[in-house]
Amino acid sequence: MITRIQFNEELTRLHHDILAMGTRVEDDLRKALEALKSGDVALAKEVRAGDEVVNAMQTKIEDQVAMLIATQQPVARDLRELVTMLKLTDNLERIGDHAVHLAKAAKRLAEDPYPRSLERLATMAIVGSAMLHDAIAAFLAKDEALARSTAARDDEIDANHKAFIKEVLDYIRDNPDKAQQATRLIATSGFLERLGDHVTNLCESVVYMVSGAHTELNE
């Protein structure tokens, strides 16, 4: 049985690891967005190659958390914090997958450019990245108010997703030969919309950690 001081040291290490994982996923999102804007295929490939790093980070954190739960049998807030870490890493890994999807879309668009604006996709990625940053900050600071305000920003992603789908459907109407490209664009927007949902999940986990309440945010 490790001492309370040692337990706190393990928690601090886990905090650092989660911050590192969140920072890595946020950086991958930034690179994928830049690849989308610039058509930089090499940058898109870099994001795709980095997915294994994110997966390895998730495995390391989950193994550490499982070890602490098994050996320390924590209760109350300590247990909620460890359970929250498992939820965080799961959602961070999924957000990393969406960064990869965006990178793949960037590569396809570089080969077959979309003649209309991609600004709504860019906005969704920017807002999602900012939400991710704030959700991790809320976890580290145990800040329930920040978690709730961060989740509320998902409305902006949802609004852009709906508007973008409408724009693409209008595009198909005028260019029926571009249906395959349009379908891929709609799928990409869908991935970004789900990215916002995963960040909202992160925020719900923070609320649970701090208050013990299971709360649906941004319904």
Average pLDDT over residues 71-89: 90
pTM above 0.85, yes or no: yes
Kindly state the average pLDDT of the residues 111-128.
92
Distance CA 39, CA 190 (A): 20
Determine the pLDDT at residue 61: 97
Distance CA 13, CA 113 (A): 44
Domains, the chain, in order of start with CATH, read 4-211 (1.20.58.220)
CB atoms closer than 10 angstroms to residue 207? 21
Residue 73's pLDDT band (boundaries 50, 70, 90)?
confident
As a residue count, the chain comes to 219
Q: Which pLDDT belongs to residue 49? A: 87
